[in-house]
Amino acid sequence: MSYLSLTEVQKRFGEFHAVQDFNLSAEQGEFVSFLGPSGCGKTTTLRMIAGFEQPTSGSISIKGQDVTRVPPNRRNVGMVFQSYALFPNMTVADNIGFGLKVRKRPPDQIKKRVAELLETVNLPEKGNRYPYQLSGGQQQRVALARALAFEPQVLLLDEPLSALDAKIRVALRHEIRSIQRQLGITTVYVTHDQEEALSLSDRVVVMSEGRMEQVGTPFEIYNFPSTAFVASFVGTLNVLPGVVADAGRGELTIAGQPVRLASGFEGSRGREVKVALRPEMVSLGAATNGQNQLTGKVSDVSFLGSIVRMRVALGGEGGPVVVCDEFNEPTLKLPNLEDTVTVNFPQDGPLVLDPKAPVESVEELIAEA
Amino acid sequence: MNDTRPKSVLTRLVSWVIFVGISLYFLVPLFATFLQSIKPKPNGVPDPTLAYRTVLGLQGFYVGLGYSFAIGVITILISLLIIVPTAYWVRLRAPRLRPVVEFVTLLPFVIPPVVYVFGLIRTYGSPPFLLLATNTGSDTVLVGAYVILSFPYMYRAVDTGLAAIDVRSLTEASQSLGAGWTRILLRVILPNIRTAILSGAFLTLAIVVGEFTIATYLARNWAFGPYLSLLGRTQPYTPAVVTLISFALTWIAMLLIAFIGRGSRTRVQVAGAR
C-alpha cells in the first residue's frame, strides 16, 4: 500500500474545474514534485493534501488512513509556504518549537529538538533572532525546520524558493533535498520551475488545466514526454514544420532541406508534419557520419552561463527558427548575427508529430519508430 | 529641470504655512484655556493654582473618572471580543462581506446619539426588556451603547492591523503545526495586531470617558462627561482645568500607543534576500 494516496480527486470552484481526475500514489520517503504553469491546479492539489481545501470528490489517504475530511491541524502534515509564514512575534526558536508546544511536549525536549533542527538547517546561532532579522533564505530555512520539528508524516512545500534570488535558490534546493533524504520524509513539492522539479524529484507530476499530463521520473519526463504539452513545457523544444517525402524511409524536408530520420513514420507524401527537436541535439557545423544538416542565418546569440543558445532561421530570414545549444567553452567560435551557418543533428534526434492531432503520444511514436 | 528647485522651495514653504496655521488653530485655544485656568483672583489676589486645587479636591471628579474608566474598560473588552474574531473571520473566510461589515460598523456615525439613546430608552425602559429600572440594568445598557459606538474605531483599527499581516498564511501555518482556532487567535493573530488593538482600545476609552449624551439620558449623571458639563455650569474657572486634564489624558493615551507600538516586532520581510 502506498504511503500517500490521492484517488480520483476533483476540486471545483463553482463552474471552474481546478483539479480533475487526480490519481497519485507516493511511497514512503519519496520526493514528488507537481510541475506546471500558473493556474494548473498544482497548489490546489497540495492544499487538499494539507487539508486547507476540501476535494469536491475523491479521497486522500496518508499511511492507509483516509484523511479527506480530517481538519488540517489533525493531519500531522508539515507545510512550507512561499511567503515563509513565520510568526513575526516569536523568535526563531519559538517558531520552530511551536508545533511541539501545541503537542504539549516537555520544555527540555522542545529545547533539544529546536537545537537539533537549527543545526540541521545550518542556523545554530540564530535561535534568539526574530524573523525580520533574518534574510529570505534564512527565513525559509527556519520555516523548513518548523515544518519538520514535530516529525510530520508528509512534508508539503508550496513554491518555497520562488521568492529567493537565483543563487540562494539553487543552494537551498540542494539543502532541502539533502535534509529530505536524511530524514526519509515523504515530500510533495509544488513548483513552476522545471529545473527545480527535475533536479529535486524522484518523480514529477506535470499538470495542465487541472489535469495530470504525465507522471514519471525526471529522466522519463524530459526524454519521453507523453504529450505535446509536456514536451513543450519541460525544457526547450524546437517544433519545426516539415513535409513528408518518404515516410517509410523516414525522409522529409524542413525549410526545403532534406532530413532523414533513423526510422520510418506514418504519413503520405507531401503531408505537413511537425518535427520536435531538443536544442541540445543540435550542434553548429556540417554533418558527419550520416547526420542531418540544415543551413540558415543566425538571428540571435545569447549567453546562458554554461551554455550558449543560438537561434538560426532555416533557409534565411523569415524561415522556421531552430534553437541550438552549445557548451560555453573558451575555444568556442561563435558566429555573428546574420552569418550563414550549418547546424547538424543525429538521425535519431527528432520526433515527428502530427500537426492535426498535436497531443498524440510522443512516447508511442518513439515506440513505433 | 531648471524649475525643480524653485518649485521645491515653494512646496516646502506652503507645507510650513499649512503646518504652522493648523498648529496655531489647535494650540491657541489650548493656551487660552490654560490662561483662563490660572485666572482666579479670590479677594483680588491672583491664585493661579486655585482652580486646579478645587478640581482635584472634588470627590465627584474622581467618582466620574473612575466610573467612566471602568465602563470604558468593560466596553473595550466586549468590543474586542466581538470585533477581533469578526474582522479576522471576514479577512480569512468571507472577504466579500467586508463592505457589509464596514457599513454596519459605520452606523454609529450615521445615527445621532440622541436618536440612538431614545431608541434605547424606548426598548429597555418598559417591559418585556425592562433594564433601565435598576442601576445594574442601566449600566448594562450604557455599556451596550458604548460597544456599538466603539465599532467604527475598533473595527477600523483591528482591520488595519490584520491588513498588515498575512492572515491566511499565518493561520494555515498554525493549523499545519496542529493549532486550533483559540490558539491561533491568542498566540498568533492577537500578538501581531497588538498595536492596532491598543489604538482601537485607547480611542474607545477616550470616547467613552468624554461621552455626554447617552450617559445623561440614561441618568448616569456621575459619569465623567455629564459631570464636566455640570461643573462648567456651576463653577467659573474649573471647566478650563477639566478640559486641560481631559486633553492630558488623551495625550497620555496616544503617547502610550506610540510607546507600546515602538517595539513592535511584527515587521517581517516577505520576500527576497537581505
Burial-class residue B170 by CB neighbours within 10 Å (0-12, 13-18, 19+): buried
Interchain contact, B269 vs A139, CB within 8 Å: yes
Interchain contact, A85 vs B271, CB within 8 Å: no
Q: How many CA atoms, within 13 angstroms, populate the side-chain half-sphere of residue B121?
A: 13
Residue B102: the pLDDT is 93
Residue A362: the pLDDT is 46
Residue A99: the pLDDT is 96
What band does A57 get if pLDDT is binned at 50, 70 and 90? Answer: very high
Task: Give the domain extent around B97.
Answer: 50-260
Interchain contact, A87 vs B183, CB within 8 Å: no
Q: Is residue B79 part of a domain?
A: yes
Residue B261: the pLDDT is 64
Rg of chain B over all Cα atoms, to the nearest angstrom: 24
Instruction: Report the share of chain A in percent with pLDDT over 90.
Output: 65
pLDDT higher than threshold 60 for residue A333: yes
Q: How far apart, in Å, are the Cα atoms of B208 and each of A128, B66, B253?
A: 41, 12, 13
Residue B263: the pLDDT is 56
Interval A59-71 mean pLDDT: 95
Q: Is residue B43 part of a domain?
A: no
Residue B146: the pLDDT is 94
Interchain contact, A102 vs B266, CB within 8 Å: no
Q: Is residue B44 part of a domain?
A: no
B192 CB neighbours in chain A (<8 A) are 87-89
Contact A228, A353 (CB under 8 A): yes
Residue B47: the pLDDT is 83
ipTM above 0.85, yes or no: no
Residue B167: the pLDDT is 94
Q: Is residue B1 part of a domain?
A: no
The whole-angstrom separation of Cα A36 and Cα A47 is 15
Residue A335: the pLDDT is 86
Burial-class residue B38 by CB neighbours within 10 Å (0-12, 13-18, 19+): middle
Query: What grid cell was written down for A345?
Result: 543533428
The whole-angstrom separation of Cα A145 and Cα A157 is 12
Residue B6: the pLDDT is 60
The whole-angstrom separation of Cα A188 and Cα A193 is 14
Q: Does A103 touch chain B (CB under 8 A)?
A: yes
Domain CATH number, residue B152: 1.10.3720.10
The whole-angstrom separation of Cα B98 and Cα B88 is 11
Dump pLDDT digits (tens) for A132-176. 999 999 999 999 999 999 999 999 999 999 888 888 888 888 989
A74 CB neighbours in chain B (<8 A) are 178
Residue B55: the pLDDT is 84
Cα first-last separation, chain A = 36
Mean pLDDT of chain A: 89
Give me the residue from A83, A102, A156 closest to B169, CB to CB: A83
Rg of chain A over all Cα atoms, to the nearest angstrom: 25
Q: Does B175 touch chain A (CB under 8 A)?
A: yes
Opening angle at CA B184, ends B182 and B188, nearest 5: 135
Q: Is residue B268 part of a domain?
A: no
Dump pLDDT digits (tens) for A259-314. 999 888 888 899 988 888 888 889 888 888 878 999 999 999 988 888 889 999 99
- 3-class secondary structure for chain A? CCCEEEEEEEEEECCEEEEEEEEEEECCCCEEEEECCCCCCHHHHHHHHHCCCCCCEEEEEECCEECCCCCHHHCCEEEECCCCCCCCCCCHHHHHHHHHHHCCCCHHHHHHHHHHHHHHCCCCCCCCCCHHHCCHHHHHHHHHHHHHHCCCCEEEEECCCCCCCHHHHHHHHHHHHHHHHHHCCEEEEEECCHHHHHHHCCEEEEEECCEEEEEECHHHHHHCCCCHHHHHHCCCCEEEEEEEEEHHHCEEEECCEEEECCCCCCCCCCCEEEEEECHHHCEECCCCCCCEEEEEEEEEEEEECCEEEEEEEECCCCCCEEEEEEECCCCCCCCCCCCEEEEEECCCCCEEECCCCCCCCHHHHHHHC
Residue A235: the pLDDT is 81
Give the minimum alpha-carbon distance from B86 to chain A in angstroms, rounded to a whole number: 20
- ω before A152 within 30° of 0 (cis)? no
- Mean pLDDT in each 10-residue stretch from start to end of chain B (274 residues)? 64 93 93 88 80 86 89 94 95 92 91 90 87 88 94 94 93 96 94 90 87 88 86 80 82 75 48 30
B176 CB neighbours in chain A (<8 A) are 50, 72-73, 75, 77-79, 147, 156
Q: Is residue B31 part of a domain?
A: no
Interval A336-363 mean pLDDT: 73
Q: Is residue B5 part of a domain?
A: no
Residue A274: the pLDDT is 85
Residue B240: the pLDDT is 86
Identify the bridge partners of residue B243 per DSSP, sorted by sequence position: none
Interchain contact, B265 vs A86, CB within 8 Å: no
Q: Is residue B41 part of a domain?
A: no
The whole-angstrom separation of Cα B67 and Cα B227 is 11
Count of the separate structural domains present in chain B: 1
Residue A257: the pLDDT is 93
Interval A230-237 mean pLDDT: 83
